[in-house]
Amino acid sequence: MRRSESIFPSLERLLRKLSLRAQVAILLAVAMLPIGVFAVAQGITNYAETKKLRREAFTFEAVQASQIEQAAILEAFGALNALDALIDVDGDADTCRGILNAFIEQEPTVPFIGFIDSEGMMECSHPPASPLDFSNQIGFQTFLKSPRRAVTAREKGEVSGQQVIVVNQPIYRDGALRGSLSMSISSRYLEWVARSKNLAPEARFAIVTADGSGVAQSTSATDFDWLPSATKLRAIFASPERIVEVSSRSGQTRVFAIAPLFKQDIFAISSWPGEIVPASLGWLNLLTVSLPILMWGLAVAVAYFAVDQLALRHILYLDRLVTAYGRSGRPLRAHRMRNAPTEIAKLGSSFDEMVEVIETREQDLVETVQEKDGLLREVNHRVKNNLQMISSLMSLQIRDAGSDREKLGLERLQERIQGLALVHQKIYESENTNAVRIDLLITEIAENLRNGSARKSDSVTLTTDLNPVTVIPDTAVPLILFATEAIVNTFKHALSHVDNGKLEIILQDDTDSLCLSIQNSKHPEAVSKDEKENAGRGIGQQLIDGFTRQLRGTVNRRQTSDSFYIELIVPKTEIARPAQ
Confidence (pLDDT) at 515: 92
Q: Do 444 and 571 fall into the same domain? A: yes
pLDDT at 159 over 60: yes
Could you tell me which residue, 200 or 170, shows the higher pLDDT? 170
Final residue of a structural domain among 188, 222, 242: 188
The domain total for the chain is: 3
Confidence (pLDDT) at 556: 92
Residue 36 lies inside a defined structural domain of this protein: no
Could you tell me which residue, 563 or 26, shows the higher pLDDT? 563
Q: Is the dihedral of CA 31, 36, 39, 44 positive or negative?
A: negative
pLDDT at 370 over 80: no
The residues facing 516 across adjacent strands are 507, 568
Mean pLDDT of the chain: 78
Identify the band that residue 289 occupies on the pLDDT scale cut at 50, 70 and 90: low
% of the chain exceeding 70 in pLDDT: 80
pTM equals 0.40
The average pLDDT across 398-416 equals 78
Final residue of a structural domain among 136, 167, 188: 188
Final residue of a structural domain among 188, 206, 221: 188
Confidence (pLDDT) at 507: 92
Q: Do 535 and 477 fall into the same domain? A: yes
% of the chain exceeding 90 in pLDDT: 5
Residue 239 lies inside a defined structural domain of this protein: no
Residue 267 lies inside a defined structural domain of this protein: no
Q: Do 494 and 537 fall into the same domain? A: yes
Region of poorest pLDDT, from 111-120, 166-175, 383-392: 383-392
Q: Which of 262, 69, 71 is nearest to 151 (CA)?
A: 262
Q: What is the pLDDT of residues 445-498, one digit of tens each?
A: 888 878 777 666 678 888 899 999 888 888 888 888 888 888 888 887 777 777
pLDDT at 8 over 60: no
Q: Do 429 and 478 fall into the same domain? A: no
Confidence (pLDDT) at 530: 47
Q: Do 440 and 580 fall into the same domain? A: yes
Q: What is the pLDDT of residues 502-554, one digit of tens each?
A: 889 999 988 888 999 999 888 766 555 444 545 545 677 888 888 889 889 99
Residue 377 lies inside a defined structural domain of this protein: yes
The residues facing 462 across adjacent strands are 503
Region of poorest pLDDT, from 11-25, 230-244, 422-436: 11-25
Q: Which residues contact 321 (CB under 8 A, 6 or more apart)?
A: 332, 334, 351
Cα 136–141–146 angle (5° rounding)? 170
Confidence (pLDDT) at 347: 78
Could you tell me which residue, 543 or 155, shows the higher pLDDT? 543
Owning domain of residue 94:
87-188
Q: Do 441 and 540 fall into the same domain? A: yes
The average pLDDT across 370-382 equals 77
Q: Which of 522, 52, 17 is nearest to 277 (CA)?
A: 52
Q: What is the DSSP string of 95-128?
A: HHHHHHHHHHHH-TT--EEEEEETTSEEEEEES-
Could you tell me which residue, 268 or 296, shows the higher pLDDT? 268
Residue 494 lies inside a defined structural domain of this protein: yes
Residue 301 lies inside a defined structural domain of this protein: no
Q: What is the amino acid identity at position 25? A: A
Identify the band that residue 13 occupies on the pLDDT scale cut at 50, 70 and 90: low
- Which residues of 347-388 form beta strands (DSSP E)? none
Q: Do 447 and 575 fall into the same domain? A: yes
Could you tell me which residue, 213 or 115, shows the higher pLDDT? 115
Whole-number Å distance between alpha carbons of 45 and 39:
10
Question: What phi and psi, each to the nearest 5 degrees, are found at residue 22?
Answer: -65, -40
Q: Do 480 and 421 fall into the same domain? A: no
Region of poorest pLDDT, from 22-26, 433-437, 468-472, 559-563: 22-26
Whole-number Å distance between alpha carbons of 270 and 280:
23
Q: What is the pLDDT of residues 189-236, one digit of tens each?
A: 777 777 777 666 777 888 888 888 777 777 655 678 888 888 888 888
pLDDT at 391 over 60: yes
Confidence (pLDDT) at 506: 92
Q: Which residues contact 357 (CB under 8 A, 6 or more apart)?
A: none
Q: Which residues contact 53 (CB under 8 A, 6 or more apart)?
A: none
pLDDT at 165 over 70: yes
Q: Do 402 and 523 fall into the same domain? A: no
